[in-house]
Amino acid sequence: MTGEGKTITGADSVLREKFGTGFLPSWEGLETAGKGKSAVLVPFFPAESGFRLLLLRRSPNLRHHAGEVCFPGGMREPGDVSPLQTALRETEEETAIRAELVEPLSVLSVEYAVVSGVAVFPVAGIVRGIDPDRDLVLSSGEIQGSVTVPLEDLSPDPVIQTVVIDGKKHCYPEYFLSNGWRIWGVTGRILYRVLRVLKGGNS
């Protein structure tokens, strides 16, 4: 096995240790206070130095969350039996990453979109067999662009911003990528939690 292979295998072990709890429940087994249910894939791609995360930018023409940076995913549909199925279906629709290329690790704790109130379940997974910088086929009606970011480039201690909506204060971490994209809101909170699991950081 090459040195690169050993590096990737070691990184796999870390991810499985941190996220590989095997918690992959059905939708029926999850209670939420949200106005709807959705799921996103937190997609880890093996790289020479560890892993890269894939993030998408939604089309500016969409009715909801236009132009926002997000993980692949979307709303539960009637045929979806689990957050994993929702996340994989939406990921394939948005990027052409097939479900069989994803090794699911676990469903993480729910987050809520502040404005819509939708419950968002992140699903951590390792993706192999596709180059996210060359081989994605982005949904032209939904996705404006994509980027992969090395985990080592993301800080577990971002700037924390505060916004007041309907008289209630909400806090969220804010990240700026090297291409100028801004990550905030529910995606920022999911990313913050993922990075704290992997890297630690301040409260």
pLDDT in tens, 165-184: 888 888 899 999 999 999 99
3-154 under CATH 3.40.50.300, yes or no: no
Average pLDDT over residues 20-47: 91
10 Å Cβ neighbour count for 151?
18
10 Å Cβ neighbour count for 115?
13
Helices (H) and strands (E) counted in the chain, each on its own, are 3, 11
65 band by pLDDT with thresholds 50, 70 and 90: low
DSSP bridge pairs for 195: none
pLDDT in tens, 7-24: 445 778 889 999 988 899
164 band by pLDDT with thresholds 50, 70 and 90: confident
Domain spans in the chain, listed from the N-terminal domain onward:
3-154
Average pLDDT over residues 31-40: 89
Q: CB of 72 within 8 A of CB of 170?
A: no
- The predicted structure's pLDDT at residue 115: 78
Residues 6+ apart with CB under 8 A from 141: 59
CA angle 102, 107, 113 (to 5 degrees): 110
203 band by pLDDT with thresholds 50, 70 and 90: very low
